[in-house]
Amino acid sequence: MIIRIAIPTFLWTATFIIFIAGFVFANQATLLDQRYESSIVKLKERWIANRSLRTKAEIWRVLEARAKTLSRSERGHVADLVIRYSIANNHDPLLLLALIETESNFRRDVVSKKGAVGLMQIRPFVAQGLADELNMSPDEAVRLVNIDVNVKIGSYYLAKMVKRFGNLSLALEAYNQGPTKLRDKLRKGALLNKRYTRKVFRSRNKLKAILRDTV
């Protein structure tokens, strides 16, 4: 025998109203969450933009003091590039500037005896080897006198060395003498004097002192 239980109409109505209210509340909560997340994203973007402006002003002061071989417009351009690729490759902007100073003394068209070119002293075969990873053509990658190309490749190459060797000190040595040569030395247990790394960090300290002195 089937027992039928009669549920009063008002209970059905109340249940339906509670369900709808819960649904509406959930939707409102979701919308609030979305608005909150959107606000956080906007605040973060605004903070990054403001931080970039402060960083650019600091970099500009350093370049004004040290990069006498660059024109005023080139200094502004280098400042923009250093910010962009420091963010893209997780570098300290001052360290990137110190590396540029160590490599070329801010001379955009200097060529070393070994054929390294430009601000970050990139050798053409290294640039060509990185072209695919940077969505560049080999012909574009070897235009190393071009400031954009040079800083893009140099900053990426340093980040690649950090990832390969696990720390900045070894990455700088690899940047200077080449990863294959450094790997061979490490494999043989050779003592590394890290002269180049110390030179870069001395440069960074001098650049940092400029900021302290001009505050």
What lies within 8 Å, CB to CB, of 119 at 6+ separation is 78, 100, 103, 104, 106, 107, 108, 147, 150, 151, 154
Kindly state whether residue 3 falls inside one of the protein's structural domains.
no
Average pLDDT over residues 2-29: 51
CA-to-CA distance for 61 and 117, rounded, in angstroms?
A: 25
Average pLDDT over residues 8-21: 54
Kindly state whether residue 2 falls inside one of the protein's structural domains.
no
Q: How far apart are the first and last CA of the chain?
A: 91
Structure tokens at 96: 């990137």
Helix crossing, 168-177 with 195-213: angle to 10°?
A: 110
Please give the model's pTM, rounded to 2 decimal places: 0.75
Structure tokens at 211: 């900021």
Could you give the C-alpha distances from 165 to 102, 116, 159, 170, in angstroms and in order?
Answer: 21, 22, 10, 6
Q: How many domains does the chain have?
A: 1
Please check the confidence at residue 73 and state whether its pLDDT lies above 70: yes
Report the CATH number that the domain containing residue 22 is assigned in CATH.
1.10.530.10
Q: What is the pLDDT of residues 118-146, one digit of tens each?
A: 999 999 999 999 999 999 999 999 999 99
Which domain does 188 fall in, by range? 16-213
Identity at 83, one-letter amino acid code:
I
E strand or H helix that includes residue 10: helix 9-66
Kindly state whether residue 4 falls inside one of the protein's structural domains.
no
Kindly state whether residue 188 falls inside one of the protein's structural domains.
yes
Other beta carbons within 10 Å of 80: 17
Please check the confidence at residue 161 and state whether its pLDDT lies above 50: yes
Kindly state whether residue 8 falls inside one of the protein's structural domains.
no
Kindly state whether residue 209 falls inside one of the protein's structural domains.
yes
